[in-house]
């Protein structure tokens, strides 16, 4: 293979490899801003040598492969942190929405409780005054309305979460179907020993999106990959995807089913888990606390009102419509049952000027009405719980964001396209091409000399 | 080691962080509060609920005091007029006891005393904002009714109820003395004493005894009147206390949830500096890469 023809063939291999290397470089430059793209580099090797007698001649350069630079372990970490981060971020958004209901100390349920008991105190110096009695009823009405509104807002938020969950399940199914389809293409390319790196990038990107929704783990198999949730549910196996479904449960909320099995409670990461946690734990917990407060207050005040006499000298009745037995729904349905201010039982002996029973009504302020706590202690504890849940989640989101950012930096340092580097490569391969072309032209001149040798 | 060629997401995160801090500080400055939502400081948010309760009740107590003080003053000045009327009755009695007076002169004195008697009934039926002050808790009807079938000529139609009003946490003040205790207490019945004196003058018998009876009723009433004086004193000192407490409560509120304006303003300018630095970094970054030098 030595000789001028050999040199020509070597130069040709150099021309061809340089062109391919240039193509890789331009592909990198083109995809510098493509999300999830891993930079590629040509792997060059010297051609198999030819031995002639005692001499060994090189045969030029070959392009072994175009390799994508990515770290599978890093991708797994990124997936896991994405799951954690999107669960926390989703929870935080919902918690922030919840806590607006409990935001101000000078308005809202807490202030309503204070104002109601204060209105009772105001009535004490002049118990037969109808204007003062009316302000007691107004304060009681405000308390009931604010409890109603807060309970309704929580309920509305819960219904919206339900819608969100159904939409997220749809997104999961779209993504798993896409992943399965990409996986099929990758398998067929790889079986034909062709390069599938850009499809692998697409798949990695899709899996990252899926990680934003559910706690999916990637398991490499002989036929591509399989995807499973941490509870064992398979979402993608080989080129087949298995859809999740959402179904209205007997408890009135949407449940997530995988092959007939309810997996609602076992999702650990991704925004879906965050949505479910708020819908099934935070909001019901809060709603039940509000019910406890509303029922406790209404029952205690009704009892106290019945021990006295109203302005007409009749025995007192209920101040609030009796809350449902067991208290469920008490906050949403609480209402003042009397409209006539004369019916407030301020008197302890039936005379119009007596304020003796106001003391009994006022005493509810310091009575254990819910969970062994006074109304206001119980309420301020709710405020504390809402606040601490939000601030803890917020801190968790911050740290998760930092970790994610670091992982993305790491990924970028390995897989990201550097334009400086690509520019340098461009010069390198351009020069190599120019040099090889020069060799061709030199060989051509020499061949010309050889051809015209006999003339 | 190869560095991440695309620092843009990090820089954008830094920009976002600076914006967030600036926003937080601006909210604090605008609202004057560092606790704008429970998550800003959960413990303080819970304590602020209790603090608001204290503040509400504190101003409520002050309002109650304002209301009962009016009642106390009315009752006290009424009783003062009653004592003055009784003093006048005593001097009239002493005058009538003078042996030189004719029957018709004594009759005239007795008539004047009858006038005092009706004045006393009217004073005992004093009302404050539509409520009879000395009726116990039957404040909607006049407690003293002229009734000639009883010895004193005046019947008590009220009751012996006493109302209490909270004027501080766990501090209750009785706000009335029933008329039965003031004007028609057994042995010191004001109306009976006057009626007895009138009859003594008309019959010219036992005038001295009757006069000392009125004197005794008058001293008794003066002693009872101390109740309202005390109540006024107590409510005045409690008002002073509550005003001090009001200051403490609002100081506590400020400690719990007030804005640290100096710190917030510093945060705003710090965030502005951070933002500018990051923006400068971004603009420098995107300017240069090797491609610019390849001509």
pLDDT of amino acid B6: 83
Q: What is the pLDDT of residues B166-211, one digit of tens each?
A: 999 889 999 999 999 999 988 899 999 999 999 999 998 889 999 9
- β-strand A40-46 against A50-52: which pairing, if any? unpaired
B289 interaction partners in chain A (CB closer than 8 Å): 419-420, 423
Query: Rounded mean pLDDT of A338-346?
Result: 95
CB contact under 8 Å between A412 and B136, yes or no, is: no
Is the separation of the CB atoms in B71 and B195 below 8 Å?
no
Q: Give the domains, in start order, of chain B with CATH numbers.
A: 58-251 (1.20.1330.10)
Closest partner CB to B37 (pick from A100, A376, A408):
A100
Q: What is the DSSP letter of B258?
A: B
User: Which has more pLDDT, A224 or B56?
Assistant: B56
Residue A387 near chain B (CB below 8 Å): yes
Residue A31 near chain B (CB below 8 Å): no
CB contact under 8 Å between B257 and A380, yes or no, is: no
Residue B176 Rama label (left phi>0; alpha psi -120 to 50; beta): beta
Q: What is the pLDDT of residues A142-195, one digit of tens each?
A: 999 999 999 999 999 999 999 999 999 999 999 999 999 999 999 889 888 888
Is the separation of the CB atoms in A256 and A280 below 8 Å?
no
Is the separation of the CB atoms in A180 and A241 below 8 Å?
yes
Buried residues in A156-186 as b, exposed as e (16+ CB within 10 A): ebbeebbebbeebbebbbebbbbbbebbbeb
CA neighbours closer than 13 Å in the CB half-sphere of residue A390: 26
Closest partner CB to A125 (pick from B5, B39, B67):
B67
Beta-carbon pairs below 8 A across chains A and B: 185
A105 to chain B: nearest residue by CA? Answer: B49
pLDDT of amino acid A178: 96
Q: What is the pLDDT of residues A426-435, one digit of tens each?
A: 999 999 999 9
pLDDT of amino acid B295: 67
The CA distances from residue A199 to A26, A109, A176, A413, in Å, are 18, 56, 15, 21
Closest partner CB to B42 (pick from A347, A379, A391):
A391
Q: Return residues 72-101 of A near B (CB < 8 Å).
A: 95-96, 99-100
**Whole-number mean pLDDT of chain B?**
91
Does an H or E element contain A353, and which? none
Residue A401 near chain B (CB below 8 Å): yes
- Percent of chain A at pLDDT exceeding 70: 100
- β-strand A40-46 against A61-68: which pairing, if any? antiparallel
CB contact under 8 Å between B294 and A427, yes or no, is: yes
CB contact under 8 Å between A105 and B51, yes or no, is: yes
Q: Return residues 19-38 of B near A (CB < 8 Å).
A: 36-38
B136 interaction partners in chain A (CB closer than 8 Å): 351, 353
Residue B14 near chain A (CB below 8 Å): no
Distance CA B3, CA B180 (A): 97
| pLDDT of B1 above 80 | no
pLDDT of amino acid A120: 95
pLDDT of amino acid A260: 86
CB contact under 8 Å between B163 and A355, yes or no, is: yes
In this prediction the ipTM stands at 0.88
CB contact under 8 Å between A124 and B64, yes or no, is: yes
Q: Which two tokens stand for residue A332?
A: 């949403």
Paired residues of A229 in beta bridges: A216
Confidence label for B287 from pLDDT (cuts 50, 70 and 90): low
| pLDDT of A1 above 50 | no
Confidence label for B286 from pLDDT (cuts 50, 70 and 90): low
Closest partner CB to A353 (pick from B38, B163, B291):
B163
The CA distances from residue A338 to A292, A315, A334, B191, in Å, are 22, 14, 12, 45
Whether the predicted model's global pTM rises above the 0.90 cut: no
Q: Which two tokens stand for residue B50?
A: 């209790």
Buried residues in B88-109 as b, exposed as e (16+ CB within 10 A): ebbebbebbbeeebeeeebeeb
A410 interaction partners in chain B (CB closer than 8 Å): 4
Residue B3 near chain A (CB below 8 Å): yes
CB contact under 8 Å between B5 and A416, yes or no, is: yes
Residue B148 near chain A (CB below 8 Å): no
Confidence label for B161 from pLDDT (cuts 50, 70 and 90): very high
The Cα of A345 is separated from the nearest Cα of chain B by a number of Å equal to 14
B68 to chain A: nearest residue by CA? Answer: A125
Q: Return residues 81-140 of B near A (CB < 8 Å).
A: 129, 131-132, 135-140
Residue B212 near chain A (CB below 8 Å): no
Where in A126-232 does DSSP place strands (E)?
A: 216-220, 225-229
């Amino acid at each position: 293979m030595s000789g001028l023809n050999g040199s020509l063939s070597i130069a040709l291999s150099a021309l061809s490899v340089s062109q391919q290397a240039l193509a890789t470089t331009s592909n990198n430059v083109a995809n510098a801003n493509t999300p999830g793209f891993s930079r590629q580099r040509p792997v060059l090797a010297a051609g198999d040598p030819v031995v002639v007698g005692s001499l060994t001649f090189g045969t030029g350069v070959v392009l072994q492969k175009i390799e994508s630079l990515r770290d599978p372990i890093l991708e797994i970490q990124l997936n896991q942190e994405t799951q954690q981060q999107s669960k926390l971020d989703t929870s935080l958004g919902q918690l922030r929405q919840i806590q607006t209901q409990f935001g101000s100390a000078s308005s809202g349920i807490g202030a309503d409780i204070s104002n109601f008991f204060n209105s009772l105190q105001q009535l004490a110096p002049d118990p037969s005054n109808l204007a003062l009695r009316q302000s007691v009823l107004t304060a009681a009405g405000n308390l009931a309305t604010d409890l109603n509104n807060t309970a309704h807002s929580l309920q509305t938020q819960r219904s919206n979460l339900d819608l969100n969950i159904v939409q997220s399940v749809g997104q999961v199914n779209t993504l798993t179907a896409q992943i399965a389809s990409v996986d099929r293409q990758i398998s067929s390319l790889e079986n034909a020993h062709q390069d599938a790196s850009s499809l692998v990038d697409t798949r990695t990107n899709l899996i990252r999106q899926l990680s934003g929704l559910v706690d999916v783990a990637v398991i490499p198999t002989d036929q591509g990959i399989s995807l499973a949730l941490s509870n064992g549910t398979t979402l993608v196996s080989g080129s087949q995807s298995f859809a999740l479904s959402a179904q209205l449960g007997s408890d009135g909320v949407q449940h997530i089913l995988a092959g007939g099995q309810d997996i609602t409670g076992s999702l650990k990461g991704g925004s879906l888990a965050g949505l479910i946690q708020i819908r099934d734990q935070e909001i019901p917990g809060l709603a039940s606390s509000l019910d406890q407060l509303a029922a406790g207050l209404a029952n205690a005040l009704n009892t106290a009102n019945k021990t006295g006499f109203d302005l007409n000298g009749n025995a007192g009745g209920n101040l609030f419509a009796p809350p449902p037995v067991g208290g469920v729904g008490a906050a949403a349905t609480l209402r003042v049952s009397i409209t006539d201010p004369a019916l407030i039982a301020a008197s302890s002996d039936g005379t119009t000027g007596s304020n003796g029973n106001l003391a009994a009504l006022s005493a509810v302020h310091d009575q254990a009405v819910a969970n062994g706590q006074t109304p206001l202690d119980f309420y301020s504890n709710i405020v504390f719980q809402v606040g601490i849940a939000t601030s803890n989640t917020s801190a968790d989101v911050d740290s998760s964001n930092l970790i994610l950012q670091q992982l993305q930096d790491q990924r970028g340092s390995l897989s990201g396209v550097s334009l400086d580097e690509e520019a340098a490569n461009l010069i390198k391969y351009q020069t190599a091409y120019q040099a090889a072309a020069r060799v061709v032209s030199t060989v051509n001149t020499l061949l010309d000399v050889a051809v015209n040798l006999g003339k | 080691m190869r560095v991440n060629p695309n620092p843009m997401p990090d820089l954008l995160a830094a920009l976002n962080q600076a914006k967030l801090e600036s926003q937080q500080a601006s909210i604090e400055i605008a609202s004057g509060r560092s606790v704008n939502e429970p998550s800003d400081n959960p413990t303080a948010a819970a304590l602020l609920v209790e603090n608001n309760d204290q503040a509400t009740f504190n101003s409520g107590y002050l309002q109650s005091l304002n209301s009962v003080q009016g009642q106390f003053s009315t009752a006290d000045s009424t009783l003062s007029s009653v004592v003055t009327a009784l003093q006048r009755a005593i001097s009239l009695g002493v005058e009538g006891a003078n042996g030189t007076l004719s029957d018709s002169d004594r009759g005239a004195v007795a008539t004047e005393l009858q006038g005092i008697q009706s004045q006393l009934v009217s004073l005992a039926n004093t009302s404050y904002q539509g409520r009879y002050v000395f009726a116990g808790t039957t404040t909607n009807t006049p407690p003293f009714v002229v009734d000639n079938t009883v010895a004193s000529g005046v019947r008590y139609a009220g009751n012996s109820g006493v109302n209490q009003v909270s004027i501080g946490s766990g501090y209750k003040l009785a706000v009335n003395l029933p008329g039965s205790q003031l004007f028609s207490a057994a042995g010191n019945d004001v109306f009976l004493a006057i009626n007895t004196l009138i009859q003594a003058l008309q019959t010219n018998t036992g005038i001295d005894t009757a006069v000392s009876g009125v004197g005794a009723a008058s001293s008794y009433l003066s002693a009872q009147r101390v109740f309202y004086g005390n109540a006024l004193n107590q409510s005045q000192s409690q008002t002073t206390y509550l005003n001090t407490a009001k200051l403490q409560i609002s100081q506590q509120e400020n400690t719990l949830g007030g804005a640290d304006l100096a710190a917030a303003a510093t945060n705003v300018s710090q965030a502005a500096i951070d933002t500018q630095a990051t923006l400068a970094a971004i603009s420098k970054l995107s300017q240069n890469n090797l491609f610019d030098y390849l001509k």
